[in-house]
Amino acid sequence: MFLIFLLTHALTVGRVNLCSPDHVSLLIHRTFNASIPRYHIPGDEWEFQYGPAENDPEFGPDASMRKGSEQEDAGRWVNRRSGQRLGGELGDLEFTVIGCVVSLVPVACFASYQ
């Protein structure tokens, strides 16, 4: 049996693993999921930039094989002033845990980046 202590309203660091216009998904300690909803991301500082369309021949699934590089993701949150990605180059982001949901196995945390 495992006992897990989760602190709410505490700062922690997670790795950004998915960005969408509605939320940012993070992984804490490579084990726990956290989600920062759009309304907890300061809109005056950050904006979502959409990635290329999947059916665009220049950026579609075959383009990465032709160019020998990784395909750009579906989108990302960037700083309005500097253009830097949320989480920086490594994707590590410090945020506040504001709540957790514990179900049978997975633990999901809700967070804020304000």
- Domain with 38 in it: what CATH number? 2.40.50.140
Give the Cα separation of 114 and 111 in Å (integer). 10
Q: Is residue 5 part of a domain?
A: no
Tell which wins on pLDDT, 4 or 9: 9
Q: Is residue 25 part of a domain?
A: yes
For the whole prediction, is pTM greater than 0.85? Answer: no
The rounded percent of the chain whose pLDDT value lies above 70 is 66
Q: 33: part of which helix (H) or strand (E)?
A: strand 32-37
Q: Is residue 2 part of a domain?
A: no
Query: Can you give the residue range of the structural domain that contains 106?
Result: 10-112
Pairing label, strands 107-112, 32-37: parallel
Q: Is residue 39 part of a domain?
A: yes
Are 35 and 109 within 8 A, CB to CB?
yes
Q: Which amino acid is at 112?
A: S
Are 95 and 73 within 8 A, CB to CB?
no
- The number of folded domains in the chain is 1
Note the maximum CA span of the chain: 51
